[in-house]
Structures are given as C-alpha cells and as structure tokens.
Amino acid sequence: MPAWAQQFIDTYGHKHVAVLAALGFAAGLPFLLVFTTLTAWLTEAGLERSTIGFFAWVGMTYSVKVFWAPVIDRLRLPLLQRWLGKRRSWILLGQLGVATGLLLMSQLDPAAQVTAVAALAVLVAFSSATQDIAIDAYRIEIASEQWQGALSAAYFFGYRVALLVAGAGALYLAEWGGWSLAYMVMAVIAISIIVVTLWADAAVEVKATEQRRLEDQLVDQTFGRAMHMSQRPAWQRWWLGAVVCPFLDFFQRNGLLALSILAFIAVFRLSDLAMGAMANPFYLDLGYSKSDIASVAKVFGFFMTIAGSALCGVLVVRLGVYRPLLAGALLVAITNLLFAWLAWVGAADTPSLLLLALVISADNLSGGIAGTAFIAYLSSLTNRHYTATQYALFSSLMTLPGKFISGFSGVVVDAYGYIEFFIVAAALGLPAIILVIYLSRQVSASEVEVASDSAVQ
C-alpha cells in the first residue's frame, strides 16, 4: 500500500474522527431548517414576503453565541454532568432542544400559527448554537493539536452532508409528502444522532483546583494582589472567571501578537465571503440554467469541497497548520481571479459547462483546504481552560467583517461589472496572506528562542 494511502487510513480511521463527522452532521442539520428551507415552506404557505424576511433575524442567534458561551464553559448540568461529562452533557441538551423544536414545528400550520413557528425556529436556532459551542470545545479537548486538522475535516464533512440533507433532502420530502413529513423526518434524524453522543468518549476536563489557580494568577497579574479573587463577592468571582479571564488569558499568552492574530481572524474569510453573495447571480447572468448550477455548483462542488477538506486534514497532521493555512489563503484569492476570467470569457460567448466545472472545482477545493486549516488554527489558539468561550469569540469574529462587506457586493457589480468585482474580491485576500506569513515567522522565531533557552539551560 502506498505511504500516502496508509497515512490517509491512519488519519481518518480513528474513533474520534468518526464521532466528529457525526457531530458535524448534527451541527449542520438545523442550520437550513431555520433558514432557506423554512422560507420555502413559509412561501408555499402563502405568507407575505415582508413577514418571511423577518425570519432572517433568527440567524442572529448564531452570531451572538459568544454571549452565553461562558455559561457553557462554567455551568455544570446536574445529573447529565455526572453521566456524560461537561461537554457531552451540553451537546445532548442542545440536540434535545433541536429535535423537540423540529418535531413541534412539523405539527404546525405557518399560515395560521406563524408566531408559534417563529418561536420554535428561535428555539431550534438557540439549541443549535448551544450545541455548536459545546461541539467546538469537545473537538479541541478530545485530541492533541496534531489531530485538529483531521477532526476539523471530519466535522466539515459531516456538516456539508447535513446541509444537503436539510436542503435538497427536505425539499424532496416536502414535494413527496408535504412539509410536516419533511420536518418530522428531520426531527427523527436529529434524535438518532444522540446515539453518537452517548457512544463518544468523554473529553478530559480541567480540574477545579487548577482552574481556580489559573484565574487567581490572571487576576493578580492584571489587577494586582490587592484585588485577589478570594476577596471578591461570589458573583464577581463568577463573572471574572467565566467572562473576563478567557480574554485576559488570550492576551497574556500572546502579548502584542494577539492584535495581529485577531486581525488575521477577521480578514481571513473576506475574500470568499465577499464573492459568495454574487455567485448564483453571476452564474445566472452568464446564461447557465438553474439545473446547471445545481448539478455543477452544488452537487459537484460539494464533493470537491470534501476532497479539499480531507486533503488538508492529512496535510495538517504531516506539516502542521501554518503551511496549509497559507496554501488555503493563496488558493482562495487565486480562484477569485478564475471567476474574473470566467466573466471575461462569458462576456464574449456563453462558456461551457466544462469551464464552469473547472472554476467551481478550483474554488471548492481551495475552500475546503482553507476552511479546514482555519478551523484547526483557531482550535490551536484556545486554552483548554476556556475552550468554549475563546472559540466562540474567534468563530464570531471570522464571519462578521466578511458578512458586512458582502452586503456591498451587489453595489460593486452594478457599478463596475463582474470582472472588476472578482478582482477586488481577490485583492481582499492579500491581508490574510501577508498576516499568515507574518504570524508563521513569529511563531517560528519564538520556537527557536525557546529551543535556544533550553539548550543553554
């Protein structure tokens, strides 16, 4: 057997990898069921477009999950904690909320009970976001940093499969048996994934005494021993430990480099998020049919994304995180130039499906590499004392700037055209490329310094 094939089997044949693939599916399943799939149901139910538009606010739940992540980091659930451990107990609670919300939604008529549907959609989104926080923390805590690439790839794979099931799968079910059946089936699937949560190994938990020791040290170093934790009332100790200390820890561990890290997180996805909103309008304006887009961009693109993710998982295990991260940043920017080329070719003549497949393949392959490497990188930044809170902060920061800028994508296209738009989108990738090179050099220099100090001692 070739060495690369053996490496692939060794990497993806681990129990933790299978568990993370299933948990990734659990995380991805509710997402479309409270977004595009739900809006299709509401449209067929005859609701006004203005009413349907308000349902987009449900998505804000995912963007503000950092606000209750400290509770998930700190609060131990009675009974469940003793049975499953901290992370799996919160995952199970989130899964129960998702399944309950979907099952109840399947029994409602949106035309007559739109308020109840909206309330249940919020319940599903909140439970899903809670589950996401706990799964992210579990993924980081269950294995060493070397394995984060493979675990991220497995999670990414499960998540993408779930999007197909909750998107195309739910639409097929609704066409065949109605929306109530579709949401009831999704609820049953959500319940079945609980078996994986019970089968999974418990993550190693930080001891309470070790946690208190770290928090005492963080507070003393920041505010002085005169404001020691033991001298504060109980609510202040909880607030400092759960909310303030995760941020103090991140900045004390990274020093001034923390600002560069946060800037890098904020700009890494600017390039692909900026072009994402204009992808489908671009394909349609070039003359491709909806079936062409579904076959090439959705189905074929899905498999290319998974291939890129799987490849990156092996690369992170073999090479570490920085080289795959740089490769992903470069490829995402370059593929935007391929879209500019496709726009230029399409201006003269409608390009063939082969050209579309070529560009889509490159875009999704690079997206799989970049996304998996970035998840592994974010995982490496967290302290296992504050995994949920710190990762929730990073994951919120990585999407907000890109989503904001993507709102102006249509303005650029209307004013200048697609070619110029995709060139601008490619240029938005330059800060990420520069920062990943800078950060990798800083880390290398730090490692050399540590090695030199050890040699001297």
Tokens 């595009």 -> residue: 36
Query: Between these two residues, 374 and 410, which has the higher pLDDT value?
Result: 374
Q: For residue 145, give the nearest of 311, 325, 383, 326 by alpha carbon.
A: 383
Q: Are 102 and 187 in contact (CB under 8 A)?
A: yes
> Structure tokens of 159?
């998540």
- pLDDT tens per residue, range 310-328: 888 888 878 888 899 999 9
Half-sphere exposure of 108 (CA within 13 A, CB side): 20
Q: What is the pLDDT of residue 261?
A: 92
* CATH of span 255-449: 1.20.1250.20
What is the rounded distance in angstroms from the CA atom of residue 275 to the CA atom of residue 280? 10
Q: What is the pLDDT of residue 178?
A: 87
Q: How confident is the model at residue 52 (pLDDT cuts 50, 70, 90)?
A: confident
Q: What is the pLDDT of residue 147?
A: 72
Mean pLDDT of 51-58: 74
- Tell me: pLDDT of 360 over 70: yes
Element (H, E) at 148: helix 148-164
Q: How confident is the model at residue 11 (pLDDT cuts 50, 70, 90)?
A: low
Per DSSP, 100 falls in state H
Of 209-213, 226-230, 365-369, 426-430, the poorest mean pLDDT is in: 226-230
Q: How confident is the model at residue 435 (pLDDT cuts 50, 70, 90)?
A: very high
Mean pLDDT of 440-448: 70
Of 27-36, 167-176, 285-294, the poorest mean pLDDT is in: 285-294
Mean pLDDT of 261-266: 91
Q: What is the pLDDT of residue 448?
A: 43
What is the rounded distance in angstroms from the CA atom of residue 374 to the CA atom of residue 370? 6
Per DSSP, 14 falls in state S
Query: Between these two residues, 295 and 311, which has the higher pLDDT value?
Result: 311
- Tell me: pLDDT of 297 over 80: no
Q: Using a pLDDT cut of 70, give the percent of the chain over it.
A: 86
- Tell me: pLDDT of 455 over 50: no
What is the rounded distance in angstroms from the CA atom of residue 47 to the CA atom of residue 281? 25
- Tell me: pLDDT of 447 over 60: no
Q: What is the pLDDT of residue 453?
A: 44
- pLDDT tens per residue, range 133-162: 999 889 888 877 667 777 888 888 899 889
Q: For residue 335, give the nearest of 366, 302, 295 by alpha carbon.
A: 366
Of 233-242, 346-355, 441-450, the poorest mean pLDDT is in: 441-450
Task: Look at the chain and count its residues.
Answer: 457
Query: Between these two residues, 388 and 189, which has the higher pLDDT value?
Result: 189
Query: Between these two residues, 351 and 323, which has the higher pLDDT value?
Result: 323
Q: What is the pLDDT of residue 2?
A: 65
- Tell me: pLDDT of 295 over 80: no
Mean pLDDT of 124-133: 94
Sorted by sequence, the CB contacts under 8 Å of residue 290 that are 6+ apart come out as 284
Per DSSP, 56 falls in state G
Sorted by sequence, the CB contacts under 8 Å of residue 123 that are 6+ apart come out as 97, 100, 101
Q: How confident is the model at residue 4 (pLDDT cuts 50, 70, 90)?
A: low
- Tell me: pLDDT of 83 over 60: yes
Residue 61, SS3? helix
Task: Give the mean pLDDT of the chain.
Answer: 82
Mean pLDDT of 83-88: 86
- Tell me: pLDDT of 456 over 90: no
Return residue ranges of the chain for CATH 1.20.1250.20. 13-199, 255-449
Tokens 């996805």 -> residue: 269
Q: For residue 339, give the nearest of 305, 363, 366, 367 by alpha carbon.
A: 363
Of 221-230, 243-252, 317-326, the poorest mean pLDDT is in: 221-230
Q: Are 149 and 13 in contact (CB under 8 A)?
A: no
Q: For residue 128, give the nearest of 7, 258, 31 by alpha carbon.
A: 31
How many contiguous H segments (helices) and E segments (strands) does the chain have?
A: 27, 0
- Tell me: pLDDT of 377 over 80: yes
Residue 446, SS3? helix
Q: How confident is the model at residue 452 (pLDDT cuts 50, 70, 90)?
A: very low
Q: What is the pLDDT of residue 99?
A: 96
Q: How confident is the model at residue 122 (pLDDT cuts 50, 70, 90)?
A: very high
pTM of the model: 0.76
Question: Hey, what CATH class is 13-199 in?
Answer: mainly alpha
- Tell me: pLDDT of 268 over 80: yes
Q: How confident is the model at residue 88 (pLDDT cuts 50, 70, 90)?
A: very high
